Amino acid sequence: MSVLNRQLVLASRPEAEPTAANFRLVEQTLPPLADGEVLVQHRFLSLDPYMRGRMNEGRSYAAPQPLDAVMIGGTAGEVLESRHPRFAPGDAVVGMGGWQTHAIVRGNDPGALRKVDTSRVPLSAYLGAVGMPGVTAWYGLTQICAPKAGETVVVSAASGAVGSAVGQLAKARGCRAVGIAGGADKCAYVVEELGFDACIDYKAQADDRSLHRALKAAAPDGIDCCFENVGGRILDAVMARMNAFGRIALCGMIAGYNGEPISMANPSLILMSRLKLQGFIVSEHMELWPQALQELAERVGAGSLRYRETIAEGLDSAPQAFIGLLKGRNFGKQLVRLA
């Protein structure tokens, strides 16, 4: 089977905000499969904030994205051809196929390719609510925040793929869920569709004092847990309302992904309020993924875990969709439909 594969590679490292010029389109004809290999046609590509950090060359929790190599990224698709006994044509699969229309995968490589059931969970959801973003939400909430019924959980970037799941999982555990999002439409979605108790539109707050007042009104009993995706002034406002022995799961700092400095206005609050602040990388906790995925799939299948997707069309749209994601232009999980 002769297959033309289209790829987007990292052509250069961004100096500040990424641009379309940082990517280059490459086309290649794929070779025949060897024994043990599987040919996958990608239906969906996942775009996620972590990709911005990988584009840099500096020290991080993972190796930088190599130049002139296919951009890293989660994918969901269908097996076209297989020379591996565990996979057959037509199987729905997810993996880390990257920014390309097809991939040849070695079936025995641990974690490289996983069959999924699309009878109750749509294929695209395995890149969002029942994928890495969902597991990220589950891990940070259950393993770091560990909220008790009746406690208040605050989530920044609450309408995004991770934040939206955090709030719903917190509500399912009997907590008060307060979101922070950018825009009245996103806040309406967070409260009216996702079931959060309140949502603060940070764009509507003229200054830090206004943001503090809004947070006090939404969390009158203080904050016990924070799931942080943004950093900067958002985290400063939350820390000022944290109750003693509060827990902060530090998932992301999107406010500084393009190199902007991220300061902390009052770090002494960590000591005074005896806070636990823990950063985490969900890929370092693979032993808990099956437990998380089971709950997430059950909730999505039952309709009790809701999600929204923003879908760009075609591989060529991926760079602009990614740039938009970093600016908060997406609503919910950002995907690219490849086929």
The string of pLDDT tens digits covering residues 146-170 is 999 999 999 999 999 999 999 999 9
pLDDT digits (tens, 9 = 90+) for 58-107: 777 778 999 999 999 999 999 999 999 999 999 999 999 999 999 999 99
> What confidence score (pLDDT) does residue 46 get?
98
> What proportion of the chain, given as a percentage, has pLDDT over 70?
98
- Judge whether 169 lies within some domain: yes
Instruction: Tell whether 111 and 151 lie within a shared domain.
Output: no
Instruction: Tell whether 116 and 197 lie within a shared domain.
Output: no
Q: What is the mean pLDDT of the segment spanning 201-219?
A: 94
Q: Is the pLDDT of residue 145 over 70?
A: yes
Q: What is the mean pLDDT of the segment spanning 207-214?
A: 93
> What confidence score (pLDDT) does residue 262 get?
80
- Judge whether 15 lies within some domain: yes
> What confidence score (pLDDT) does residue 29 get?
97
Instruction: Tell whether 273 and 140 lie within a shared domain.
Output: yes
In the chain, alpha helices (H): 50-54, 132-139, 161-172, 184-192, 208-218, 233-239, 268-272, 289-302, 318-326
Q: Give the number of other CB atoms < 10 A from CB of residue 263.
A: 11
Number of structural domains (the chain) is 2
User: Mapping DSSP to helix (H, G, I), strand (E, B) and coil, where does residue 259 land?
Assistant: coil
- Judge whether 214 lies within some domain: yes
84: domain CATH number? 3.90.180.10
Instruction: Tell whether 10 and 105 lie within a shared domain.
Output: yes
At 256, the pLDDT band (50, 70, 90 cuts) reads low
Q: Is the pLDDT of residue 258 over 70?
A: no
- Judge whether 293 lies within some domain: no
- Judge whether 292 lies within some domain: no
Instruction: Tell whether 158 and 111 lie within a shared domain.
Output: no
CA neighbor of 336 nearest in space, from 319, 117, 147: 319
> What confidence score (pLDDT) does residue 259 get?
65
Whether the model clears a pTM of 0.85, i.e. scores above it, the answer is: yes
Instruction: Tell whether 171 and 113 lie within a shared domain.
Output: no
Instruction: Tell whether 62 and 177 lie within a shared domain.
Output: no
- Domain of residue 109 covers 4-124+308-337
Mean of pLDDT over the chain = 95
> What confidence score (pLDDT) does residue 59 get?
72
